[in-house]
Every structure is written in C-alpha cells, then in structure tokens.
Structure 1
C-alpha cells in the first residue's frame, strides 16, 4: 500500500479544506449514504457496454465487483463530488487494472 502512504503524507503537508481524503481499499466519508457506489457503477458499466463505450464482458452481479478507491473531493458548504473506482473481482485477481471503471457521484 505504498500509494496510500504517499497520499497520507501529501495530505498531511497540504491544506485540505474538507478534512476528507482518498480511501484506498474501501469506503471514505460518503455524503450520500443511501446509495451503494459499487452497485451504481456496476449498473453504469453494463449500460456503457450496451452502448459500445466500454469493452465487455461485464458481470451484472454486484457481488462480482469491488471498490478499489473512494475519493470525496468537495469543499464544505459548496458543491461536491465523490469519485469511485470499481473493478470486477476476476479482473482484480488478474491485476487487470485497465479494466477498472470510474464513476462520479455529484451533489449540487
């Protein structure tokens, strides 16, 4: 988890207005707790395959997906977004990180 250590060091050295940072390997501080970012991203990946914007195969079973990272990149009192990186478990096992899918949850 060298990347996590570097991220923590950079955050300690920088001004971070929200106090929230990147969570590698799990869920960070979620603003919208009533949604599952893995289920949402898996569903959107299926739609992307259907429209030709993403290469398959893609599983429609949420249990076949895992959250790689979660980043709340908002500013207190203003608009915010959370970026989620998800990957199918089979692709993770094969270290096919080019198959990771990125989804953004935006809160106006």
Structure 2
C-alpha cells in the first residue's frame, strides 16, 4: 500500500514539475504515474550499475556526477514512457532536481 501511495506522490510531483519547467512535457496524470513506476524500476536496476561503473569519476567530482546519472535515467525514461518528453539533457537535469525537491516537500507534508 505504501508503494502505491509513493507512486502517486511521485506522479503528482512529476506533473507539477512539468508545469514549472517548459522543456518537460507530460500528457496527463496517468502518464505521470507510469513515469513514476518506470523511474522506480530504472532506479532499482540501472542506477546501481551506473553508480558502480562510474565510481572513479564520482569521487573526482565529489559526487556531482550522480546528478549526471540522474539526468541520464530521466532521458532513458523519456525514451520508454509514452506521453513523457524531455527536450534535452539540461532539462532532464533540472527536472531531476525539481522532482527531488517537490517530492521531498510533499513527503514532509504527507
């Protein structure tokens, strides 16, 4: 039950983030919830592999390279999810930052 609520919260945060950022487009709430599910799967499967493969670069950049990995995950989700479009790498990076902030705020309220 908690996982479903978390998906709905992330979906609402993604939809709100797309209203804030003009380079990110989500067609509706259903696409946002599907995006939240795909992001959960990608963060569970692909992200740990990328983090392990890029440990030297992450250490050299003092962890800032993890933002690049988050943006790549967003771009991969954009290729997978119909109804979700990101205009470029910079928008994916900004979307991941805004999505994290909005999700944290909503989690704190709920």
* TM-score of the two chains, using structure 1 as the length reference: 0.33
Relative to its length, the structure with more helix (as a share) is 2
Relative to its length, the structure with more strand (as a share) is 1
Q: Which has the higher contact order (CA 8 A, sep 6+)?
A: 2
Q: Which has the larger radius of gyration?
A: 1
